[in-house]
A and B are shown apart, each in its own frame.
Chain A
Amino acid sequence: MAEDHKIETDEISGTRTTGHEWDGIKELDTPMPRWWLTVFYACIVWAVGYCIAYPAWPLISSYTTGVLGYSSRAEVIETVAEHKAGQAQFRDRIAAASMEEIRAEQDLFEFALASGASAYAVNCSTCHGAGAAGGNGYPNLNDDAWIWGGTIDDIHYTITHGIRNDTDEARVSEMPAFGELEILDDAQIESVTQFVLSLSGSPHDATLAGDGAVLYEENCAACHGEQGEGYPELGAPNLADQIWLFGGTPEAIAAQIHKPRQGVMPAWGPKLDEATIKELAVYVHALGGGQ
């Protein structure tokens, strides 16, 4: 409890006390060092100047803007515009160049790769995954299996127009639901399944596969090819390779024959500008599987 005492001089330090005392402990009135006071006053002066120059005081619906007119929001807009202007030389060239020209010039190629990677992260990774490794029903973009073709122009077209969407130029293919439409019965589907497994050298039942070969020839070969090599123009996947979009187990294959799942990809042409789409095509093509 502070009690008022009279101001006295401390014996040890020779400094005056403030007159406050707590349980016998007296408070010295040691003045501030001169340098400390100087800095303190300088800070006050600085603060006043700062309040005049920069946004400082909140008002009811706005704030004091300061005479310098500084705004961090405006600064961000300016910085973004600056970066866009800095990228313009590349993006203008990319928009005008052919895909082959972009890939041949080191600076354009490297810019497209970097820019494509960030555009991919924003627009594509939701379905195809951050590393473009895809998932069940979503194609892995790293491998060399391309349902709709793996040249850079094919990829560019697929990104621009998408697959099985409402636009006119979209890539469209439709596999009949052989089971649901009762074109094939369950036993036949099982036979075809075993034959399809045999195309890629996977473990299969040779007897059933023999039966399935005829059914395959009649129902599937038109799109998927005699040897299951696929037909990219029609979007018919290769059945002879080790890559299965909807799974490579007998059950998954049979389910796909019974009632196929068919993936949809939006058309990015109306959403992204030409340069970005080209950058995306370069990036996806350079993931390692591009043809």
Chain B
Amino acid sequence: MADGIVIPDPRDGAGKAGRAPEPLPDPDDDDYPPLYRSRQKIFPKAVSGFFRRLKWQIMGVTLAVYYLTPWIRWDRGDGAPDQAVLIDLANRRFYFFWIEIWPQEFYYVAGLLIMAGIGLFLVTSAVGRAWCGYFCPQTVWTDLFMFVERRIEGDRNAQIRLDKAPWTPRKVWLRTLKHATWLGIAFATGGAWIFYFADAPSLFVDFWTGQAAGVAYATVAILTFTTYTLGGLMREQVCTYMCPWPRIQGAMLDENSLIVTYNDWRGEPRSKHRKKAAASGEKVGDCIDCMACVNVCPVGIDIRKGQQLECITCALCIDACDAMMEKVDLPKGLISYSTLHDYELGVAGRGDERPTVWKRIFRPRTLIYAGAWAAIGLFMLLSLTVRDRIDVNVIHDRNPVFVTLSDGSIRNGYTVKILNMVNEPRTFQIRVEDLPGAHLAFAGGEAVSGISSGEDLDGPFLRVEVDPDRLRSVRIVVTMPREALEAERTEFTWVAFEEHWEYGFRPETSRAEGAFFAPEGTGE
């Protein structure tokens, strides 16, 4: 638990056997057990150093990626959106640069999620909770909100003074300014989100002229609210109480995972008056108990109590402590990124034997994670490059299952759906395999544009032109002479392939299983 949370234990006080009964507690009393715990206010102090610089840089990159990605253009030709990253819900397409994903190819997205999961395991086992400390949107936006807060209200001490001060016009002004800026950032955050779902430039114009869809405004409103609430008001409470990841971390970390560690074997016993204490012969550690590590902590914990659930390993306490150690002329690294193993070596006085960073990162566990992660990624990449952009689905008529024609032959009807998944019109040939003697025709004839039939040495075929990036459904009837049928059910294969192809060694092809049904007693 975080420092400072003290739950009064009534067993210490009222009602012990043998004592005189105490007066009933009054709910309005200050001593009455709290029914609702309000947030412990945290005023993190500004800090500078290596990790702070790293965090600023990562914040810049991640925010830039978030805000700019929808504006990247990508030419896909006529009739297709020219936005590099677009989730087109209305047309059910996902565009990512050169990749286009249809809803039935959602397994690629599932693969990405699995990669994200394994990637988190990999990062956690190698460098601890780096995700929490540097990359998590909650961390990035909270950091941004804190930056705004410091620019407006001042650093830690000024913030504390302002918080305690009565509501003077200055305080009202500063608080209004702060919350307005936060809301502005939150609005921009929600505003950027919708651009992933529609053409960004036109949506931008529509949005500001009141022409955008209601759902766009609602999305912006909701995300503005959540960003403002989570980043501005709730902050570390999200990480401590709401997020499941810190709980999972407990199972992911091992003795070789980097965590922010207070090296108490070096720091304890701590003393505010080191020199005086040392002079009087007391044993003193390096910790000068300056509270710098506590004051800069964005989640309000004291790292000197050891590894804690709340710690997001942002390492700002390392920056703060190193700066102090430098001032008092002691070696840096009293608080450091260390593994449990390092720490134990330190306790044993064998700090020199610490393995190198490389040895720590390249160990079987991380290599297995990295291998699994890369294997899934490579497999998906490979399958993306060789996947066919045609798909065929065939549904046999349910009623009637077969039709007897006037000459006694048997006819089955099928609904054939052909997906042309590229942005140009293509012509496909549809044939049947393993059904000798079959006659193929379009139900309703060939008067409709874009369909025709033909025959070559390989047998009869039907030709279907499909518009760019579209599905076309045709109804096909297959007729078999009665004497050619050997059973009530004959299995065969539908084959659809591109008639003229430009790239590769073979036309793009899709197959589907088919079955031909005949009246009872056929083949007997």
Contact = CB atoms under 8 A, between A and B. Distances in A.
Interface of A: 7-16, 31-35, 100, 103-106, 109-110, 113, 129-133, 140, 142-145, 238, 241-243, 282, 285-290
B403 A289 contact: yes
6 contacts: A11-B16, A103-B445, A106-B448, A109-B444, A145-B406, A288-B403
Nearest to B403: A142
A238 B408 CA distance: 13
Interface stretch (B207-215, B219-227, B392-400): B392-400
B10 A103 contact: no
Contacts of A282: 444
A133 B447 contact: no
Tell me the dominant secondary structure on chain A's binding face. loop
A242 B404 contact: yes
B10 A12 contact: yes
B15 A242 contact: no
B444 A242 contact: no
A243 B404 contact: yes
Given A9-B25, A142-B413, A103 B447 contact: yes
A78 B36 CA distance: 49
B25 A140 contact: no
A286 B475 contact: yes
Interface of B: 8, 10-11, 13-16, 22, 24-25, 27, 33, 35-36, 397-400, 403-408, 411, 413, 443-445, 447-450, 473, 475, 477
A290 B400 CA distance: 16
Contacts of A7: 24
Contacts of B405: 143-145, 242-243, 289
Contacts of B477: 288
A50 to B, nearest CB: 19
Tell me the dominant secondary structure on chain B's binding face. loop
Contact of A14 (B10, B36, B406, B407): B10
A31 B35 contact: yes
Given A15-B33, A105-B448, A285-B444, A143 B10 contact: no
Contacts of A241: 406-407
A176 to B, nearest CB: 25
Contact of B444 (A8, A105, A144, A290): A290
Contacts of B27: 31
B486 to A, nearest CB: 19
Contacts of B400: 131-133, 140, 142
Nearest to A131: B399
Contacts of A132: 400
A14 B33 CA distance: 8
Contacts of B475: 286, 288
A130 B406 contact: no
Contacts of A33: 35-36
Residue of A133, A144, A288 with most chain B CB atoms under a 10 A cut-off: A288
Contacts of A9: 10, 14-15, 22, 24-25
A166 B17 CA distance: 103
A10 B10 CA distance: 9
Contacts of A133: 399-400, 403
A9 B90 CA distance: 61
Given A131-B399, A243-B406, A282-B444, A12 B11 contact: yes
A271 B334 CA distance: 92
Nearest to B15: A11
Contacts of A15: 33
Nearest to A108: B448
Contacts of A286: 443-445, 475
B14 A238 contact: no
Contacts of B408: 242
Residue of B35, B36, B406 with most chain A CB atoms under a 10 A cut-off: B406
Contacts of A104: 447-449
A133 B13 CA distance: 87
A181 to B, nearest CB: 30
Nearest to A16: B24
Contacts of B398: 131
A290 B473 CA distance: 19
B411 A16 contact: no
A254 B35 CA distance: 93
Contact of B11 (A11, A34, A35, A105): A11
A110 B467 CA distance: 15
A218 B35 CA distance: 106
Contacts of B35: 31-34
Nearest to B412: A288
Contacts of B15: 9-11, 14
Given A11-B11, A33-B35, A288-B413, A16 B25 contact: yes
Q: Sort A-B residue pairs by CB-CB distance and give the 5 closest, nearest first.
A: A131-B399, A286-B444, A14-B10, A241-B406, A133-B400
Contacts of A142: 400, 403, 411, 413
Nearest to B450: A106
Nearest to A32: B35
A16 B445 CA distance: 85
A16 B27 CA distance: 9
B399 A143 contact: no
A287 B36 CA distance: 70
Contacts of B13: 14
Nearest to A201: B408
Nearest to A241: B406
Contacts of B11: 11-12
A105 B399 contact: no
Contacts of A8: 24
B403 to A, nearest CB: 4
A237 B408 CA distance: 16
B298 to A, nearest CB: 25
A76 B22 CA distance: 67
Given A106-B448, A140-B403, 5 more contacts: A11-B16, A13-B10, A106-B450, A242-B407, A288-B477
A78 B293 CA distance: 65
A63 B411 CA distance: 59
B393 to A, nearest CB: 17
Contact of B397 (A31, A129, A131): A131
A289 B406 CA distance: 10
A35 B35 CA distance: 10
B36 A34 contact: yes
A14 to B, nearest CB: 3
